[in-house]
Structure 1
Amino acid sequence: MCRHLAYLGAPVPIRQLVLDPPLGLYRQSWAPRAQRHGTVNADGFGVGWYADGDPVPARYRRAGPIWADGGFADLARVVRTRALLAAVRSATEGCAAGEAAAAPFGADRWLFSHNGALPGWPGRLGALAAGLPAEELLGLEARSDSALVWALVLHRLRAGAAPGEALADTVLTVAEHSDARLNLLLTDGTSIAATSWGDTLCHRTTEGSVLVASEPGDEEPGWIRLPDRSLLLATAEGTTVKPLIP
């Protein structure tokens, strides 16, 4: 399993979103409170963020635990952003290790993260892979269930699907082939789409900003937990929640 978050709003240091919250992503790497599968998220981490004037995000990913990377702490102190996606990883059995397997995955203007697992990986999921063109399969960033889910989402986005449609269609298709856990996050720097399917997801909206996360990063009021099997669409101005119905 994993923990992840996405943010849109006023420019803030990365540290304020990822490292400083008392119960936030940094602490969730070793002591998550709401995680239902796995206990430690030390198999890698990553952050992707957007800079003003450039629609293509930057990414910083590592294979080790977030608490062991002093360079990231220094970067997070000085880099400010209006939009971010970050994740800490608990690897699924049979999936690749290494930096390339850590979220966020990215292509074009998109950042993506998968919190969950696909039981039966890789043996029982050939039908999913068979639906992708060969060049897209060969272009997977890593040999992992999350990278395959990302390829399925990206294929739909490039075919013209809206972000929420791409996530919903992917979740419902994958669920037909596996008893999967599919909490997904997707952003282009101006909006966030997310699904809750098998684990926790919540969001908090303040004036001009929105934060979507696997679990609350603090005890402050305003956090709203999504029902399981839901699709969340969010901008800095507000959120919409819809049921995911097979």
Structure 2
Amino acid sequence: MCRHLAYLGPARPLAEVLTDPPHSLYRQSWTPSVNADGFGVGWYPPENGAGPVRYRRAVPIWSDANLPGLAAVLRSGAVLAAVRSATPGTSHDEAASAPFALGRWLFSHNGAVPRWELLPADTGEPLTAAELLGLDARSDSALLWAMTGRRLTAGLPPGEALADIVRTTAAARPDARLNLLLTDGSTIAATRHGDTLWYRRRDETEVTVASSPVPGERGWHEVPEHSLLLAGRTTTDVEPL
């Protein structure tokens, strides 16, 4: 399984989100399971409200000598990051690493979809030639992102877009694992369907959503299976999918 997280709160060095915590995403890349097929981080620079900016690699996060220095100096109040364990049959280039992007949206998928190549036909949602050619990579995650992006572009709110993707995909692939994570730099939408998902609030202005909690750190709440999480800097709502 992959691992991912999203953070909203006061601007801080990326290192405080990615590498410094004792059970950081960096550490989760090798324990408790190995996620060595790439990584990525997307953030929204606080200086000018621009973004998102992405840094993605097709190497294990621990082997990138540039990341520690970058994470120490780059700051943001909105971050989405992931480490990847590739689904068999998917591509291994850096474009296959989350986060995927569209406009101000960043997206990640933790899980796997069996026979994902046939998913559009099996869900009755064939992609156009332009959408297929526009896929970031040959992977289940990139395909789910294309389906999600279609809904966001049509004006569906982020929570509804993710919930609809989970329901549609699970109906065609009951054994699919579909933990999805989406942010526009102001809000976070996430689903738990098949793998674990947790969130933590701090100081009423900060929220972190992650695959796993930090052991021994207070304030983490587990999201129930088959649920949708909607979070802002000061609000959190969990509801059934």
TM-score scaled by length of structure 2? 0.95
Aligned pairs for 1:121-160 (under 5 A) are 121-123=116-118, 126-128=121-123, 130-160=125-155
| CA shift for structure 1 position 131 | 2.7
Q: Is 1:184–1:195's contact at 8 Å kept on the other side of the alignment?
A: yes
Partner residue of 1:63? 58
Partner residue of 1:31? 31
> Could you list the runs of 5+ residues in structure 1 that have no partner in the other structure?
33-38
User: Cα deviation per residue 1:149-180 (whole Å; 9 max; x = unaligned)?
Assistant: 00011000000000000000011001111121
| CA shift for structure 1 position 56 | 2.5
Partner residue of 2:43? 49
2:95 is aligned with 1:79: no
Q: Is 1:12–1:80's contact at 8 Å kept on the other side of the alignment?
A: yes
| CA shift for structure 1 position 121 | 2.8
| CA shift for structure 1 position 130 | 4.5
Partner residue of 2:10? 10
The amino acid that maps onto 2:189 is: A
Partner residue of 2:189? 193
Q: Against the structure 1 CA distance between its residues 241 and 174, is the aligned structure 2 distance closer, same or farther, given a 3 Å change threshold?
A: same
Take 2:55 and 2:200, find their aligned partners in 1: how far apart are those partners? 25
Take 2:232 and 2:118, find their aligned partners in 1: how far apart are those partners? 38
Take 2:57 and 2:77, find their aligned partners in 1: how far apart are those partners? 22
Partner residue of 2:231? 234
Q: Against the structure 1 CA distance between its residues 62 and 128, is the aligned structure 2 distance closer, same or farther, given a 3 Å change threshold?
A: farther
User: Cα deviation per residue 1:81-133 (whole Å; 9 max; x = unaligned)?
Assistant: 00000000000001111100000001100000000000123246533484322
Which of the residues 217, 221, 225 maps onto 1:220? 217
Corresponding residue SS for 1:170 = helix
Take 1:54 and 1:238, find their aligned partners in 2: how far apart are those partners? 21
Corresponding residue SS for 1:92 = coil
Take 1:108 and 1:65, find their aligned partners in 2: how far apart are those partners? 27
Take 2:118 and 2:230, find their aligned partners in 1: how far apart are those partners? 33
Take 1:159 and 1:49, find their aligned partners in 2: how far apart are those partners? 24
2:204 is aligned with 1:202: no
2:113 is aligned with 1:118: yes
Question: % of aligned pairs identical?
Answer: 59
Take 2:136 and 2:119, find their aligned partners in 1: how far apart are those partners? 20
Corresponding residue SS for 2:30 = coil
Q: Is 2:40–2:82's contact at 8 Å kept on the other side of the alignment?
A: yes
Matched pairs, number:
238
2:125 is aligned with 1:91: no
Corresponding residue SS for 2:191 = strand
Q: CA RMSD in A?
A: 1.3
Partner residue of 1:36? none
Q: Is 1:129–1:137's contact at 8 Å kept on the other side of the alignment?
A: no
> Could you list the runs of 5+ residues in structure 2 that have no partner in the other structure?
none
Take 1:125 and 1:115, find their aligned partners in 2: how far apart are those partners? 19
Q: Is 1:13–1:77's contact at 8 Å kept on the other side of the alignment?
A: yes
